[in-house]
């Protein structure tokens, strides 16, 4: 999405990206990014938590439009309520899920 953000911004429309992968974002370098310390697939929050999702999306937009210069990655003040999730994310037991609901691995 970094390429898309850069293309849109270059055409004269500002962009804000709500991201969960800091390293991928840093490499792609979009104009404005807000980082949330949640697993990929939960950038907007937890299932069924509409109030929490609203708070995250609102904060992402407010924080994103306040960014002062190109390439900044601002951090949102939310934490994922599952201790140790960082160690499990994107490991073979907790990775992509195919249409059959099973993890996809090679």
Partner 1 sequence: MEAPQDAVPYIDRTRTLYAKTKPYQWVRHDPASEPPAWTPIAKPLSALRIAVISSSGVHRKDQEPFHYRNDISSREIPLDTDPADLRLSHFGYDMTDARRDPGCVFPLRVLRGLAADGVIGGLVDPMVSFMGGIYSARLVRNQVATRMRDFVLRERADLAFLIPI
Q: Residue 99 Cβ, how far from partner 1 at the closest point, in Å?
A: 7
| Residues 5-24 close enough to bind partner 1 by CB under 8 A | 5-24
Among 81, 83, 99, 100, binds partner 1 (CB under 8 A): 99
Is residue 92 involved in binding partner 1 (CB under 8 A)?
Answer: yes
DSSP state of 105: -
Phi and psi at 72, nearest 5°, equal -70, 140
Taking phi first (over 0 means left), then psi (-120 to 50 degrees means alpha), and beta for anything else, what does residue 80 get?
beta
Is residue 70 involved in binding partner 1 (CB under 8 A)?
Answer: yes
Q: Residue 36 Cβ, how far from partner 1 at the closest point, in Å?
A: 10
Cα 88 from Cα 94, distance rounded (Å): 6
Is residue 96 involved in binding partner 1 (CB under 8 A)?
Answer: yes
| Residues 37-56 close enough to bind partner 1 by CB under 8 A | 37, 39-48, 50, 53-54
Using a CB cutoff of 8 Å and minimum separation of 24, what contacts does 12-15 make? Answer: 14/65
């Amino acid at each position: 999405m970094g390429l898309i953000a850069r293309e849109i911004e270059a055409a004269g429309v500002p962009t804000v990206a709500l991201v969960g992968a800091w390293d991928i974002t840093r490499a792609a370098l979009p104009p404005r990014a807000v980082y949330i310390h949640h697993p990929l697939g939960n950038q907007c929050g937890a299932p069924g938590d509409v109030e929490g999702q609203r708070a995250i999306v609102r904060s992402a937009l407010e924080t994103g439009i306040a960014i002062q210069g190109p390439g900044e990655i601002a951090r949102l003040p939310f934490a994922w309520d599952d201790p140790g999730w960082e160690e499990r994310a994107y490991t073979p037991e907790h990775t992509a899920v195919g249409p059959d609901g099973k993890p996809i691995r090679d």
